[in-house]
Structure 1
Amino acid sequence: MPSYSIREINTILKGELIGDTTQKIEGPEEIQKASTNHITLIGSTKYLKYWAASKACATLIDFNVDMEPGDNRALIKVKNVDLAMAELLKLFNPATPVFDIDIHPTAVVHETAKIGDGCKIGANCYIGKDVALGKGVTLYPNVCVFDETSVGDSTIIWSGTVIRERCMIGSHCIFHSNVSIGADGFGYRPCDDGKGLVKIPQIGNVIIGHDVEIGANSCVDRGKFSATIVGDGCKIDNLVQIAHNSIMGRSCIMAGHSGLAGSVTLGDGVIIGGSASIKDHTTIHSGATVCAGSGVMNDVEAGKTVLGYPAQDARDMLKQWAAVRQLVKCKKTVS
């Protein structure tokens, strides 16, 4: 395991070093769990009270926070604690699993598939007809990429992921375990005789931009026609559903258990909180935020924050909740 002096770490982070420690730092840890060889972070003033009792030899701290380091302990003051910690975590990030050979002999690769230089394909992978993998693509064991799909340079796809036919995946993407790309959209209509359901064929595909990360067990369904689109730089958490013909702009965030129904449109930089649900054919314009657990039934203006079920302006919703609490108190007083 690598270790660094506090001065080496400060040089990398370009912070302001307050105090000093002779302890070699072997990794970051939470302030209450840290040992003497750990560096921690204090992201807000509410964690200051834990510093005196913490065993950590050093901490990252915001420039605006005033605190003494203590004996043989150090502070690194930075402009953004979270971003500095991200840089620090890169130093201690363990290596990814090693491929003994580039293409495992149990992988099934169709003779028409085009495999770029430096690709790594793990055990029991399936690469279908006319698939094109760019340079440096990594497929961990048990990944399936079906016919006529293209995957851009340096994309990493973890075990259990299935990418269905005719999908287009950008460069430098990361798909975590058991992601589903291009499954049929959910489309049914009642039969004329009322005795069953007719499945609507889903003949479109999925287009995913560059630098997209999709968490484990999330699904992006193919379009009924044309494409379901995930824009460049989008970050999608675990257990997220993106339905057929939805379109996500650039750098959107979707937290776990959230979902888009069919034909939803997100502008650039939209944030969808955990367990939020978005009604079909709804547009959420650029820069808007949907708070966790909310249900969006109507279009959301650019830059607006909505909350509740059904979702509305967050400030109005909070006022309503406060008013309800007051009514409950009044009722108890009267009773």
Structure 2
Amino acid sequence: VKTETGADVDDGQEFLKWKNGGGHLHKSACIDPTVVIEIGAIVHPKSVLGANVHVGSGTAIGPCVKIGQFTKIGYNAALSNCTVGDSCVIHNGVCIGQDGFGFFVDEDGNMVKKPQIGHNVVIGKSCMLCGQVGIAGSVIIGDYVVLGGRVAVRDHVSIISKVRLAANSCVTKDIREPGDYGGFPAVPIHVWRRQIAIQCRSSKKRKS
């Protein structure tokens, strides 16, 4: 038996085999006909996938997840408790909306860490999150924000659009002005550099 969307289903079956790619989806999911769900991927109940979304093999889309059009999701990713916008790229092994860091295995067999994004996080368009970034729950990030490697953002913090954070920075309070920031806690980049210079001079004086 075929559904109106073209998925193959046996009578009484909860999950259907999707026509494009061979993956499976719950019969209550809303899937655009152009979506590709690769073999081994699964889309859970009441999720919504827009036009031209591509879901890689082994990826799990949790219940009630919404994914915007033209978004590409790699293999072995896991998405839950989230809404993903249009034209996003989610790399292999990424975990969104759940405990634990995602990872993938590179060509040399090394396990490479991916960012961790907590619950109720909102991320604007054209943002870049580098390796081992950690974002706690209920954070709001504007558009065109860049988080360098191992940047940490505490819960319930807002970051305005067009902010760049240096690697290993920690955001402990709202950032309300665009610009470059660094340090722990994160401050404007020129302040952070001045702090580093003062520390270096103090260290040299103590040694002398």
TM-score by length of 2: 0.80
Paired with 1:328 and 1:260, the residues of 2 have a C-alpha distance of 33
Q: Which residue of 1 aligns with 2:33?
A: 135
Q: C-alpha separation between the residues in 2 aligned to 1:114 and 1:121?
A: 9
Q: Does 1:331 align with 2:206?
A: yes
Partner of 2:107: none
CA contact (8 A) 2:141 2:158 kept: yes
Are residues 1:277 and 2:152 paired? yes
Answer yes or no: is 1:266 the counterpart of 2:141.
yes
Residues 114, 132 of structure 1: 8 Å contact kept: no
More helix by share: 1
Partner of 2:45: 147
Match of 1:121 in 2: 21
Report how many residues are paired: 187
Give the corresponding residue for 2:130. Answer: 255
The 2-side partners of 1:104 and 1:130 are apart by 12
Residue segments in structure 2 that go unaligned for 5+ positions in a row: 1-5, 99-111
Shift of 1:111: 6.7
**Residue correspondence of structure 1 range 42-191 to structure 2 within 5 A:** 120-122=20-22, 125-182=23-80
Does the 8 A contact of 2:16 with 2:24 survive in 1? no
Highest RCO, 1 vs 2 (Cα 8 Å, sep ≥ 6): 2
Q: Distance in 1 between matches of 2:134 and 2:199?
A: 29
Distance 1:156 1:135 in 2: 12
Output the CA distance in 1 between the equivalents of 2:15 and 2:94.
29
Paired AA for residue 190 in structure 2: R
2:200 is paired with a residue of what secondary structure? helix
Residue 280 of structure 1, CA deviation: 0.2
* Equivalent residue in structure 1 for 2:85, among 197, 205, 209: 209
The reply on whether 1:298 has 2:196 as its aligned counterpart is no
Q: CA offsets per residue over residues 174-207 of structure 1, 9 Å max, x none? A: 111221111xxxxxxxxxxxxxxxxxxxxxx422
Alpha-carbon distance, 1:132 to partner: 2.2
How far has the Cα of 1:302 moved from its partner?
Answer: 2.9
* Aligned mates of 2:156, 2:138 — CA distance in 1: 5
Q: Offset of 1:273 from its aligned partner?
A: 1.2
Aligned to 1:62: none
1:157-180 CA-to-partner distances (Å, cap 9, x unmatched) read: 112211011111111101112211
CA 1:318–1:176 in structure 2 vs 1: closer, same or farther (change >3 Å)? same
Deviation at 1:114, TM superposition (A): 10
TM-score by length of 1: 0.51
CA contact (8 A) 1:181 1:220 kept: yes
Is the contact made by 1:288 and 1:301 (CA closer than 8 Å) also made in structure 2?
Answer: no
Q: Which residue of 2 aligns with 1:195?
A: none
Matches of 2:126 and 2:190 in 1, distance apart?
25
